[in-house]
């Protein structure tokens, strides 16, 4: 504007004295000069400057989930009737955001059986070829013929958010390294509470419905409805729940040993609060409740700082501060350790404490040098004199502290996937200190470790046979198994078929294991609510619970399998006391059927789904046969 005005002024002033060609040259020169000045100003380097290509461009609004996926079958949407589509669907499969659900028919009835005290789950799909606003669900009490009811308070309903994965759905080629796939994939997993939601046209929104049958509910058949409404459409869903005359105890009483490794620092980091502040502890209590409600057994603690090679997005800090005094003596601060153990126990996680680890990555140990106030890092191999000297001092102090707290008998010293030489050396130091120390080890099956370990956790696929597990049980030892970034299946990855999580509970029972372990409960990557990828490992490998104490498909399917394990265990005990021939027949069939899970190799989704569903039918039949006897 200024340039144009100036040029116009100059033109009128000199119109009669300057030839037109000269005047045009002056205009062009002036324009070139100004363009150069502007270009120079914007090409300068300033302090604090960052290359724009290295920083994501800010979005106008925060995206709760990414929506960059596109349908592979656009024609399918053209065949969908306008308006609201709603249907119950299996929880054993995933449904994509921009693909019309592949259902034989829109199922408006949910029929299910369950014990008193059991959680039942179903998935509800909502989709439409056109945009729907204010989609909401109105639940009603379930009632039996005599008027007894199950309250809406016993239901929980969550929308399922889509999260980024580095492998496509049901990929069988995942490894403990960078994904070979060049694209990313949007898959449903994270639960989120809602009042109502808008549904963009040509998209799907899965909804997860859970019913926790109250333990005091009388056996019978309960029916009810759910109204699904949007601004202009509505539909009614029906429910028919058979409550069997069996009681599943509360998760705190379950015998299954669930060990999901925790990293409490991530909760402080994610919420930008001071670790171990009152605010942090309040959030941790809610965060751990899901673990407790799935029968969580082990409290994960850390005697050393960052034991796992600094490979977590937020590293696991030490809970016991090692301090080398000015006179060369050692002292240990248990403040964080005590706070976390007491907090976990307050929500019902109180059967076992694991302290990691006598063999950290690189044999690296950190302590404070009281002379300088600096942290010092040193490497002590388990077969070294320095290791034995310092660990003897530490174990003496730790044992005294645990005994004072009343925790010694439930504490395990944890060793993870270390070479045999270092593992055996560390075990010798521990057992030479006191035969009463309990040791747990996670890794491959090694016969030479069998008699040394109180708790042995095998990597799936590198296990002992069932007879070894039974012999360990007879000796009063516990044996579990785990999956991690391998094997590719069965697993709890974001892209795993959900049925694999439930299948694991049946495998645990078939192999006579005491339970299941997994790293990790909550080792969140940088943006876990939207992107489950780790720089190296398969998406979802690092966590089973989301920030804000939000559950997900993977966690609930794992919990279903644990619930099945408990039901099988209880039915076996009941059947052993029964003289009823039908009960004995059904119990024998169930025991025989469990062998099927030991022989599975291919993990074709339909087959393992059918195997679990057939097993559930046997459990239901045996539950009814025994229901009148106990």
- HEC string of 89-116 equals ECCCCCCCCCCCCCCCCCECEEEEEEEE
Provide the pLDDT for residue 354: 98
Q: Per-residue pLDDT tens for 327-337? A: 999 999 999 99
What is the pTM assigned to this prediction?
A: 0.92
Closest CA to 349 of 416, 299, 286, 281: 299
Task: Give the C-alpha separation, 413 to 437, whole Å.
Answer: 8
Task: Give the C-alpha separation, 594 to 615, whole Å.
Answer: 8
Paired tokens of 22: 């000269």
**Helix intervals (H) in 377-515:** 385-405, 420-433, 466-474, 499-510
Angle among Cα 346, 347, 348 to the nearest 5 degrees reads 95
- 556 close to 208: Cβ distance less than 8 angstroms: yes
Pairing of strands 364-369, 321-324: parallel
Query: Containing H/E element for 258?
Result: strand 257-260
- Tokens 């008027």 -> residue: 147
Q: Per-residue pLDDT tens for 540-593? A: 999 999 999 999 999 999 999 999 999 999 999 999 999 999 999 999 999 999
Provide the pLDDT for residue 42: 58
For domain 74-247, give the CATH number. 2.60.40.10
Quick one: how many helices (H) and strands (E) in the chain?
13, 24
Paired tokens of 451: 């008699």
* Residues written for the chain: 630
Question: Across 279-359, where does the E strand assignment appear?
Answer: 298-302, 321-324, 330-333, 352-356
Task: Give the C-alpha separation, 524 to 23, whole Å.
Answer: 68
Query: Containing H/E element for 270?
Result: helix 265-271
**Helix intervals (H) in 320-446:** 335-346, 385-405, 420-433
Task: Give the C-alpha separation, 232 to 136, whole Å.
Answer: 12
- Tokens 């009737």 -> residue: 81
Which residue positions in the chain have pLDDT lower than 50? Answer: 1-15, 630
How is the chain split into domains, by residue range?
2-35, 74-247, 258-557
Task: Give the C-alpha separation, 147 to 301, whole Å.
Answer: 49
* CATH 3.20.20 matches 258-557: yes
Paired tokens of 186: 């949007």
Provide the pLDDT for residue 2: 40
Sorted by sequence, the CB contacts under 8 Å of residue 262 that are 6+ apart come out as 288, 291, 299, 300, 520, 521, 522
Provide the pLDDT for residue 6: 40
């Amino acid at each position: 504007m200024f340039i144009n005005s100036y040029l116009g002024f100059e033109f009128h002033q000199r119109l009669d004295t300057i030839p037109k060609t000269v005047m045009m040259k002056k205009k062009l020169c002036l324009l070139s000069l100004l363009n150069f000045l502007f270009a120079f100003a914007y090409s300068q380097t300033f302090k604090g400057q960052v290359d724009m290509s290295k920083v994501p461009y800010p979005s106008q609004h925060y995206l709760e989930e990414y929506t960059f996926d596109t349908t592979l079958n656009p024609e399918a949407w053209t065949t969908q009737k306008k308006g609201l589509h709603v249907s119950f669907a299996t929880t054993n499969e995933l449904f994509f955001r921009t693909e019309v659900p592949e259902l034989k028919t829109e199922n408006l009835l949910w029929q299910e059986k369950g014990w008193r005290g059991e959680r039942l789950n179903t998935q509800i799909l909502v989709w439409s070829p056109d945009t729907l606003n204010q989609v909401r669900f109105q639940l009603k009490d379930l009632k039996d013929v005599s008027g007894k009811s199950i309250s809406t308070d016993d239901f929980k309903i969550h929308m399922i958010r889509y999260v980024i994965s580095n492998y496509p759905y049901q990929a069988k080629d995942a490894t403990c390294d960078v994904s070979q796939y060049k694209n990313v994939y949007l898959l449903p997993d994270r639960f989120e509470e809602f009042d109502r939601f808008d549904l963009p046209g040509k998209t799907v929104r899965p909804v997860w419905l859970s019913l926790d049958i109250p333990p005091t509910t009388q056996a019978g058949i309960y029916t009810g409805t759910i109204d699904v409404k949007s601004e202009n459409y509505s539909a009614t869903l029906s429910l028919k729940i058979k409550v069997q005359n069996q009681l599943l105890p509360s998760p705190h009483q379950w015998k299954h040993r669930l060990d999901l490794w925790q990293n409490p620092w991530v909760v402080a980091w994610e919420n930008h609060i001071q670790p171990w502040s009152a605010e942090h502890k309040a959030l941790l209590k809610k965060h751990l409740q899901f673990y407790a409600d799935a029968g969580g057994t082990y409290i994960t603690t850390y005697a050393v700082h960052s034991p796992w090679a600094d490979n977590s997005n937020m590293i696991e800090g030490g809970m016991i501060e090692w301090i080398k005094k000015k006179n060369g003596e050692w002292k240990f601060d248990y403040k964080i350790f005590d706070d976390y153990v007491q907090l976990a126990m307050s929500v019902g996680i109180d059967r076992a404490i694991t302290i990691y680890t006598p063999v950290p990555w690189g044999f690296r140990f950190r302590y404070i040098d009281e002379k300088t106030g600096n942290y010092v890092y040193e490497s002590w191999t388990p077969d070294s004199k320095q290791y034995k000297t310092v660990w003897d001092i530490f174990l003496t102090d730790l044992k005294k502290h645990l005994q004072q707290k009343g925790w010694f008998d439930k504490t395990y010293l944890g060793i993870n996937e270390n070479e045999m030489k270092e593992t055996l050396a560390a075990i010798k130091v521990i057992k030479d200190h006191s035969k009463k120390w309990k040791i747990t080890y996670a890794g491959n099956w090694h016969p030479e470790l069998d008699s040394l370990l109180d708790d042995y956790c095998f990597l799936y696929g590198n296990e002992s046979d069932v007879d070894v597990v039974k012999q360990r049980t007879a000796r009063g030892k516990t044996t579990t198994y785990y999956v991690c970034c391998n094997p590719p299946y069965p697993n709890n990855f974001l892209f795993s078929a959900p049925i694999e999580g439930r299948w694991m509970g049946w495998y645990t029972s078939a192999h006579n294991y005491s339970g299941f372990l997994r790293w990790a409960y909550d080792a969140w990557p940088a943006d876990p609510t939207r992107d489950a990828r780790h720089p190296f490992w398969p998406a979802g490998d690092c966590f089973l619970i989301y920030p804000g104490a939000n559950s997900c498909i993977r966690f609930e399917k794992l919990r279903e399998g644990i619930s099945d394990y408990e039901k099988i265990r209880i039915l076996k005990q009941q059947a052993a006391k029964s003289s009823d021939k039908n009960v004995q027949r059904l119990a024998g069939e169930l025991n025989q059927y469990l062998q099927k899970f030991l022989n599975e190799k291919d993990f074709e989704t339909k087959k393992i789904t059918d195997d679990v569903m057939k097993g559930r039918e046997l459990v239901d039949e045996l539950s009814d046969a025994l229901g009148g006897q106990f």
